[in-house]
Amino acid sequence: MSLPEIAQLEFDDAPAAVSSASTVVHKTFDWDFEAGDFRLKDGKLIELTDLDYLRVWVQKALLSNREIPTLIGYNLHPDYTRAEIERIVTEALMQNEAVTVVENFTFVQEGARLTISFDVRSIFGSSREAVIL
């Protein structure tokens, strides 16, 4: 018994057309940060796009960032701490190609809680965001 012959394949020498368009999808599901779970509507996940997507993404990105808490609680000069937090937040948020600018930081310390507010400009528009640490 002999093996069947394999057909000769011919390849076109011309390069394949490559699309340079972005394939990044800017959407997420709504998240309840207090409950630590997805929000549902009629038993289904709520899909978010545009600025709503970006607001949830910003919170997730910053709350999962391990650098910011390392600065809190140390006896560092407040100006140094603020500058480092601004740098860390800006670098974290600029990882998302939808974000164009992060600016206008404000800091409010109430006891052990630090609220950091800032403006985020993006391809979807601008919003004022805050994260509580």
Q: How many Cβ atoms from other residues are within 10 Å of residue 13's Cβ?
A: 5
pLDDT in the model for residue 6: 56
Residue 47 forms part of a structural domain: yes
Residue 38 lies in a domain: yes
What CATH number does residue 65 fall under?
Answer: 3.10.450
67, part of any domain? yes
pLDDT, position 107: 93
Domain count along the chain: 1
pLDDT at 3: 57
pLDDT of residue 123: 94
Q: What is the pTM of this model?
A: 0.75
Query: Is 8 among the domain residues?
Result: no
Does residue 37 form part of some domain?
yes
Q: Is residue 5 part of a domain?
A: no
| DSSP string covering 87-98 | HHHHHHHTTSTT
Looking at residue 67, what is its pLDDT?
82
How do residues 51-73 score in pLDDT, each as one tens digit?
999 999 999 999 888 887 777 66
Q: Is residue 4 part of a domain?
A: no
Return the beta strands (E) in the chain as ranges: 27-29, 31-32, 37-38, 40-41, 44-45, 47-49, 99-110, 113-122, 125-132
SS3 46: coil
| Domain limits for position 108 | 27-132
Q: Which residue numbers in the chain have pLDDT < 70?
A: 1-23, 72-73
- Is residue 96 domain-resident? yes
